[in-house]
Amino acid sequence: MNLILYRYITERIGKGFIGVLAVLILASCSTTRFVPEDKYLLNKVELEVDNPEINKDEAKSFIRQKENYKILGFVKFYLILYNMSSKKKTDDWLKRIGEAPQLYDEVMTDRSKEQLKQYLDNKGYYRADITSGLDLKDKKKKAKLTFNIETGERYTINDVRYHFATPKLEEIFKKDSMSLQFKRGVPFDIYDLQKQQERIVKLYRDKGYFYFSKNQVRYKADTTQLEKRVALDLYIGETRNSQVDSTKILRPYYFNNFYYSIIPGTAPNLSQGKAANVFADTLEWDNARLFLAPSIYYPANLFRRTTQMQSGDLYNATDVENTFNALNRLRQFRYVDIQFEEAADNPYSNLLDCNVRLSPLSKQSISLDLEGTNTSGNLGVAGNIYYQHRNLFRGAEVFQIRLKGAVERMQRQVDNGSESFNTREFGIENSLNIPKLLGPGKFIRSFEKNLPKTVLNMGFNYQRRPEYTRTITNLRFGYDWKTSQNFSHLWNLMDVNFVHLFEFDQAFIDSIQDLYIKSSFTDHFIFATNYSLVYNNQHLGVKSNYTYARLNVESAGNSLWALSKITGRSKYQDPNYENSLIEYYRYLGTPFAQYLKADIEVRRAIEIDQYNSIVGRAFFGIGFPYGNSGLLPFEKQYFAGGANGIRAWQVRSLGPGNYKAPDGFYPNQSSDLKIEANLEYRYNLIGRMEGALFLDAGNIWAINKYYKREGVRFHINEFYKQIAVGTGTGFRFNLNYFILRFDLGMKLRDPSAEAGKRWIIGTRKLTGDDFNLNFAIGYPF
């Protein structure tokens, strides 16, 4: 596929999408094909509330009358599919994948009002008034249903009387009274009371009360004594109507013995394993025993470090949960189950024996993944072969080798026409995760409770690009740990990269006479330390709102610069800079980089319903060279465009600022500062096929004083004029193991155009250059 043909196809795809959208809009106008004669299609449901403190989306979830699902905010796509089915067949495939028309139902309307009333009562609005209005269109057979809510004044808590079954329960509660007691005057809200009930149960289960549950926390609310105020009684430790002996509920328990059984398959329990005589080895330490099946070995120290529970300590539900999570983080077991039973040798004591059942994953595995690439008509293929060994040194170490390769057929313009050539990349990466502290980290005792891993990475990468050949050799040593379910940390004490560039294309060298860019393409040595903090409350396999945030901080060259100073090394001059020669130190005969770099990324996903969601992303990053460097290393600079950035531009073709590379040159732009924002609306289509509409904006800029070109440096009062904006649509195919993605981006605002002509629509006609087709694996963010 040559470049002209590619531009023609992408332009046609863009126009074709507009046509498909028009067809959907027209089809949505006829949606009553399967509506019976005496019924009405529930075309729209609205909710009007006079109180801004009420969450309308939350309240609307209690309405039992639902209209058909929409995509794109207005197209009832699944109803359209259903209406396209045959009236003669009751179960054709269009009916199965579509959605039957939602009909107005007076009974369901009354039930919706009852549900709304119950919801408002639970929120403390006992005098709320709920009415409904119905607008019928007889000719169109459509109905519009509106619910109106007048909440009235909210009830508040006047006082709380606490009732404890034992003095010990009262003592424990009052120690945590700041977080668990209700304050006078706060709104009365049943949902808040339920959350408080869960916190109270957790408090006592963390203090040894193994049998304590929600049944032991009861509220009694009296709204008759005072005007719009609630007298609240809280009973803690009640044992009536409980299936467990009351003496067990009201006494704390202690951890006693621990039994670990590791058996392949479905992880039978300990007694079954003993009966079947499947254990080949038994290890004992303190009050613990480890039962191992044949061909399985793990050291006792692994479970000493992983288990957050200690024999003789009070039962603590949080420690149990942390132990469960720690065992899963080892990436060794497909099945983890923790159960407790009263000590068998003394059933009347308050001791608990812990049985941990584990089923190991396969020790070794090999996998392969392939992906296609298409950048402005340049076709390519990339692949990775993974080999993984769990328990390499019989201590739950995870070793992985990754062999990667990519070949891309590139095309560019030269003086005598076009030229095709290959871009090649080959590499090997090795990683070893060790579930304990090695190196200086072992002296940081506070780390141990967070169950850190020592991470070692080594790799070599060969890249043959149109403009140059580059090899990168890297070595990393650091720690990976979690401080909670949502917070994870990665601290690389040592991140070493040696970059060697050679075999430059002369045309490329001639094109980068700008000395700042030219100096980026020189050999260099990086000795850095970096830290990443990640917050992620997303749960795999669960569709819900989530937030993801990542902060990266990196510093390089300081220790080498200090060592060079102390040892009195001589500086060298960089001839690439005229009239302002930079002197630098070298290490192993190569200049080393010295810089400070930081960036932050935030993503927020909102699930509208089971078919629609919105995901937003914001990114800001900046790198500042100093000391031994006049610029950031090329691979540490930021770039824009591509399948995971501003998709209307191919990768590395945007910026910095209003810069535009000469025609025919392969894009290679990068710089010191990056600002980017993305908004994507995702919707389900048919089966495993999903659709998306997106809007991307941002750019990169230089902040280095050596960059002399006009319009590329960041200025606080000018940068917004150089923001690039793109939009587009995409299709994704969920193939279980991965997502295959196609995104067609279209430029809306091009900062490289002349001032006054940067907004494309309304200024000139769209061309093939304004579209960019991206093939990728996985979601962009």
3-state helix, strand, coil in the chain (%, to 5): 20, 40, 40
**Rounded to an integer, what distance in angstroms lies between the CA atom of residue 654 and that of residue 640?**
6
Amino acid at 559: S
The pLDDT of residue 130: 95
Integer-rounded Cα Rg, in Å, for the chain is 32
Task: Pick left, alpha or beta for residue 355 (phi over 0 → left; psi -120 to 50 → alpha; otherwise beta).
Answer: beta
pLDDT band at 579; cut points 50, 70, 90: very low
The pLDDT of residue 316: 96
**CATH, range 254-360:** 3.10.20.310
Task: Pick left, alpha or beta for residue 568 (phi over 0 → left; psi -120 to 50 → alpha; otherwise beta).
Answer: left
Q: Which residue has the tokens 């923790």?
A: 338
**Rounded to an integer, what distance in angstroms lies between the CA atom of residue 251 and that of residue 349?**
10
pLDDT band at 660; cut points 50, 70, 90: confident
Pairing of strands 142-150, 41-49: parallel
b/e sequence 562-591, b meaning 16+ C-beta within 10 Å: eebeeeeeeeeebebbeeeebebbbbeeeb
Q: Across the strands, what pairs with 534?
A: 488, 550
Q: Tens digits of per-residue pLDDT, 228-285?
A: 999 999 999 988 777 788 889 999 999 999 999 998 865 555 555 554 456 778 889 8
Rounded to an integer, the average pLDDT of 450-479 is 90
**Rounded to an integer, what distance in angstroms lies between the CA atom of residue 612 and that of residue 626?**
47
Q: For residue 624, with 0-12 CB atoms within 10 Å meaning exposed, 13-18 middle and 19 or more buried, which class applies?
A: middle
Q: Among candidates 504, 431, 430, which has minimal Cα distance to 468?
A: 504
Residue 18, pLDDT > 60, answer no
Homologous superfamily of the 3-150 domain (CATH): membrane protein fhac (3.10.20.310)
Least trusted range by pLDDT, from 29-43, 115-129, 380-394, 499-513: 499-513
CATH topology (fold) of 156-249: Ubiquitin-like (UB roll) (3.10.20)
**Rounded to an integer, what distance in angstroms lies between the CA atom of residue 511 and that of residue 665?**
9
SS3 per-residue string spanning 358-399 = EEECCCEEEEEEEEEEEECCEEEEEEEEEEEEECCCCCCCEE
Q: Tens digits of per-residue pLDDT, 52-93?
A: 999 998 999 999 998 998 887 788 888 988 988 888 888 888
Q: What percent of the chain has pLDDT over 90?
A: 52
- Of these ranges, 1-5, 114-118, 412-416, 769-773, the one predicted with the greatest mean pLDDT is 114-118
Average pLDDT, the chain: 85
Least trusted range by pLDDT, from 172-181, 438-447, 487-496: 438-447
**Rounded to an integer, what distance in angstroms lies between the CA atom of residue 282 and that of residue 435?**
22
Q: Among candidates 506, 509, 511, 476, which has minimal Cα distance to 490?
A: 476
Task: Pick left, alpha or beta for residue 179 (phi over 0 → left; psi -120 to 50 → alpha; otherwise beta).
Answer: alpha
pLDDT band at 714; cut points 50, 70, 90: very high
φ/ψ (deg, to 5) at 750? -110, 110
Residue 1, pLDDT > 50, answer no
pTM equals 0.83
Rounded to an integer, the average pLDDT of 664-672 is 78
Residue 518, pLDDT > 80, answer no
The pLDDT of residue 21: 52
pLDDT band at 578; cut points 50, 70, 90: very low
pLDDT band at 295; cut points 50, 70, 90: confident
pLDDT band at 515; cut points 50, 70, 90: very low
The pLDDT of residue 275: 47
Token readout for 706 is 């050596």
Q: What percent of the chain has pLDDT over 70?
A: 85
Please enumerate in sequence order all residues whose Cβ is within 8 A of that of 184, keeping only pairs 6 or more positions apart, or say none: 157, 158, 159, 160
CA 736 to chain centre: 18
**Rounded to an integer, what distance in angstroms lies between the CA atom of residue 289 and that of residue 281?**
10
The pLDDT of residue 247: 87
CA 191 to chain centre: 28
CA distances for 199 relative to 124, 190, 196, 325, angstroms: 21, 14, 5, 20
Rounded to an integer, the average pLDDT of 695-701 is 97
Rounded to an integer, the average pLDDT of 411-428 is 65
Amino acid at 522: T
Rounded to an integer, the average pLDDT of 573-587 is 64
Q: What is the dihedral of CA 603, 607, 613, 616, to 10 degrees?
A: -20
The pLDDT of residue 590: 87
Residue 288 near residue 385 (C-beta atoms within 8 A): no
Pairing of strands 572-574, 546-556: unpaired
pLDDT band at 571; cut points 50, 70, 90: confident
Residue 448, pLDDT > 70, answer no
Residue 45 near residue 62 (C-beta atoms within 8 A): no
DSSP 3-state assignment of 492?
A: strand
The pLDDT of residue 324: 93
Residue 697 near residue 716 (C-beta atoms within 8 A): no
CA 513 to chain centre: 41
Residue 591 near residue 606 (C-beta atoms within 8 A): no
Rounded to an integer, the average pLDDT of 762-778 is 87
Residue 593 near residue 625 (C-beta atoms within 8 A): yes
Rounded to an integer, the average pLDDT of 599-613 is 92
Question: Which ranges in the chain are annotated with CATH 3.10.20.310?
Answer: 3-150, 156-249, 254-360
pLDDT band at 107; cut points 50, 70, 90: very high
**Rounded to an integer, what distance in angstroms lies between the CA atom of residue 124 and that of residue 190?**
8
pLDDT band at 721; cut points 50, 70, 90: very high
Amino acid at 228: K
> How many other C-beta atoms are found inside a 10 Å radius of the C-beta of residue 765?
7
